[in-house]
Amino acid sequence: MLPSVLNPTTAEKDAKDVVDMEIEYANITLPSDLRRDVTKWYNKMTTGELGDKFPGVEWKKLITGTMKIIGMSINDSEPVVAVSPSFLQKIGNVISKYPSRVIVNYVIGRMLLKGNVPLYLPEIFTSIKLRYQQVLSGTTQASPRWQKCSTNVKHAFPEAVGRLFVEEKFRTGAKENVLELVYNLKKTFKGMVDELTWMEDSTKQLAKEKADFMEVMIGYPELIFNDSALHTKYENVTVYIDDPLRTIMSVGEAAVIRGLQKLRKDVDKTDWFFSAAEVNAYNMFLTNQIVFPAAILQPPHYSYEQPAYLNYGGIGYVIGHEITHGFDDQGRKFNKYGGMINWWSDNDSAMYKDRAKCIIEQYSNFTVPGTGGMMLNGKLTLGENIADNGGVKETFKSPYCSYQAYREWLKTNRHGKEEQKLPGLNYTPNQLLFLNAAQVWCGETRNEEKIKRLYTDPHSPLMFRVNGPLQNSEEFSIAWNCPAGSYMNPSSKCTVW
């Protein structure tokens, strides 16, 4: 007879217990759209109060044991933030129903199936995860091994990989060129604020100050070329040449230590949350920063050599999107310094919510193809949809992007010489702006993955990141001569900014 640890019956029961417990966790978790209000995240209390308000878990013991890793002591007066009180009130009851064996199996299982970790385990782990992904996301085959390995290295050592990418791919002059784009789009946003008829002058002034104060980080952090600083950052990491799994575990442990060591210290505003080799961008509400890694400054988003109209339609849309995130339904709750301080009058706040409601209703009426008639969740995706709409409006109302001003730009910057048209395409510069804005969202998503994202993803499906904002754009309808009342030029349009 097999030992109990390897007995199939025991293993099956262990697995069922873990799944049952995770289902209970899910059932006490607020739906994604109800977790979006950042003002409900900040529930400051002491560790002593944490234990009193949320019984069933030895919070002080847990926190104290964790902080011992870095030699930091904790007492009952230590301030903490309870992000989700409704979850914390119930988690103790769930945990108490299961023996420690189930909890340990849950933790280890989550760790071993996380990301690309199964790549370094026996084949059965990769096979199990693939079967799981087939059901959840429709995946039919695993990604190539080289791709998983390179992703693991990028996540483990983002600065080192970012340095290699920057040295080979990031062109000198790109940073200054993109900074000019950001300046123009900030200027456009402030012009849009001035044109608002529903906002009081005092609130307008604060909005423009926040836009001016927004720090822009482009390309890469200086840290990646500082060998001494990199050695210090990874001093707790051990690389095992013949054991990549141990290396990943070491990287994870070191990351936890670095995170804990940041507590009780001022926020380091030079920190980047993505590698320079990551195709992405983000807005940090808490520091009022917008960040554009080097890797996103590539075609179709951007190229130093391509016509300006393509850059404004590509990376310009992304820049406008990130600027507007500072003023979406959550970003607007932070001031220019990143403090969660209300700078809105009651009337302006009510008017904002009314316009946001229009966006919610518009997107909630989109039916997502391939999902059996499921509708988009306009509440869950509200922040991203406001940012998409603001990004489009800023980009195409920019004084450097409207058709007539674009002609002036040519006179000033190119002495009247036309930019080259794209070969074989008889489109105007304005039309090409919109085409490239749509091009950056081209992609295919499996139906199973679409369904999963409708429940969890704060971004709208790709096609609606194009159709939604452009339906609300007067400039798009003019550029493409869309008939009034048609699908892409509806009579009722939504606008926040």
CA distance 331 to 287: 11
Which string of b and e fits 396-416 if b means at least 16 CB within 10 Å?
Answer: bbbebbbbeebeebbeeeeee
Which string of b and e fits 118-136 if b means at least 16 CB within 10 Å?
Answer: bbbeeeeebeebeeebeee
3-state DSSP call for residue 166? helix
Half-sphere exposure of 372 (CA within 13 A, CB side): 5
Helices 315-325 & 174-195 angle (0-180, nearest 10)? 50
Q: Amino acid identity, residue 136?
A: L
Assess whether 322 carries a catalytic annotation: yes
Alpha-helical (H) ranges within 113-144 are 123-137
Which stretches of 382-459 are assigned E, i.e. beta strand?
A: none
Tell me if 344 sits within 8 A of 350, measured CB to CB: no
Q: Residues near 224 by Cβ (< 8 Å), separated by ≥ 6? A: 159, 160, 162, 163, 166, 230, 276
Assess whether 388 carries a catalytic annotation: yes
Q: Amino acid identity, residue 203?
A: T
Tell me which of 388, 394, 449, 475 is the catalytic residue: 388
Structure tokens belonging to residue 223: 């840290």
Tell me which of 14, 78, 322, 449 is the catalytic residue: 322
3-state DSSP call for residue 180? helix
Instruction: Return the H-helix or E-strand segment holding 310.
Output: helix 308-313
3-state DSSP call for residue 45? strand
C-alpha of 15 from chain center: 32
3-state DSSP call for residue 381? coil
CA distance 98 to 96: 6
Rg of the Cα trace of the chain? 25
- Pairing outcome for strands 44-46 and 215-219: unpaired
Residues annotated catalytic, as ranges: 322, 388
